[in-house]
């Protein structure tokens, strides 16, 4: 979902152009079990930089999604940080999310 939000931002401000892709990459590394020791603190720091700084509220919603996931699923986050990806990481997503590729042209 975060990759989709990053790909479909207007990319007109720093939080959308730089912040959302960085947060999406960090969260993907966490989910895939490729976390380095500084990932969680980096993810929290980057997420905190998104809110109330964009030209619109798009990055705010993405930041709330990340903050909510980290707060609501601390055991899962800890598992991914210490033991790698869980078996569910290799299954198709349960929530259908469109591809994380930007549209061909902006309207």
Summarised one tens digit per residue, pLDDT across range 67-101 is 999 999 999 999 888 988 887 777 887 777 777 77
* Whether the Cβ atoms of residue 56 and residue 10 lie closer than 8 Å to each other: yes
30-45 mean pLDDT: 90
Which pair of structure tokens corresponds to residue 75? 């055991």
Binned at pLDDT 50, 70 and 90, residue 103 comes out as: low
pLDDT at 44 over 90: yes
1-26 mean pLDDT: 90
- The total of other beta-carbon atoms located within 10 Å of residue 14's CB is 15
pLDDT at 61: 93
pLDDT at 46 over 90: yes
Residues 6+ apart with CB under 8 A from 19: 46, 49, 50, 59
Nearest Cα to 60, choosing from 68, 47, 71, 51? 51
Which pair of structure tokens corresponds to residue 2? 């975060």
pLDDT at 37: 87
DSSP string, 64-78: HHHHHHHHH-HHHHH
pLDDT at 68: 95
pTM: 0.83
């Amino acid at each position: 979902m975060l990759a989709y939000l990053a790909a479909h931002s207007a990319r007109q401000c720093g939080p959308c152009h730089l912040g959302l892709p960085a947060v999406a990459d960090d969260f993907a590394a966490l989910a895939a079990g490729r976390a380095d020791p500084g990932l969680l603190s980096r993810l929290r720091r980057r997420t905190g930089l998104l809110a109330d700084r964009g030209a619109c509220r798009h990055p705010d919603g993405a930041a709330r999604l990340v903050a909510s996931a980290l707060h609501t699923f601390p055991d899962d986050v800890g598992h991914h940080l210490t033991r790698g990806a869980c078996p569910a990481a290799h299954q198709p997503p349960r929530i259908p999310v469109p591809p994380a590729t930007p549209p061909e042209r902006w309207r």
